[in-house]
Amino acid sequence: MRFEIFSLIAVVGAFVWAFRALPMRLDLARMPEKGALARFFAATGVAAIATLFAASMLPEFAGGRSLPALIGSAAVLAVYLPSRSVVLATLAGAAAYGAGFAFLA
């Protein structure tokens, strides 16, 4: 394996570990609620979800299978907005995507 690829993997792995482990190991109870670090942690969660959503949708649209992905995304929103349950929304989105993929793709 080339050194450049290995070093990139090591750096990305270290940052992923830091983003996941450090908030649990730091004493965040003493952190001010309106501080810069609190805003950073709040924005990082939303940005991570948006990035994962975009990364998962790109192959669907590039491969011409956009309808099941749109159906699954609509099901997530349709369940999450009234219930505010992430678990139910995830299950509904997975079921709707699976049904859309089975019947439409």
Yes or no: say if 97 and 68 are a contact pair by the CB < 8 Å rule: yes
**97 Cβ contact list (under 8 Å, min separation 6):** 68, 69, 71, 72, 75
Q: Is the pTM here over 0.75, yes or no? A: no
- Show pLDDT as tens, one digit a residue, over the chain (105 residues): 688 888 988 998 898 888 778 777 777 677 677 878 777 777 777 777 788 888 888 888 887 778 988 999 999 999 999 998 989 999 999 999 999 989 986
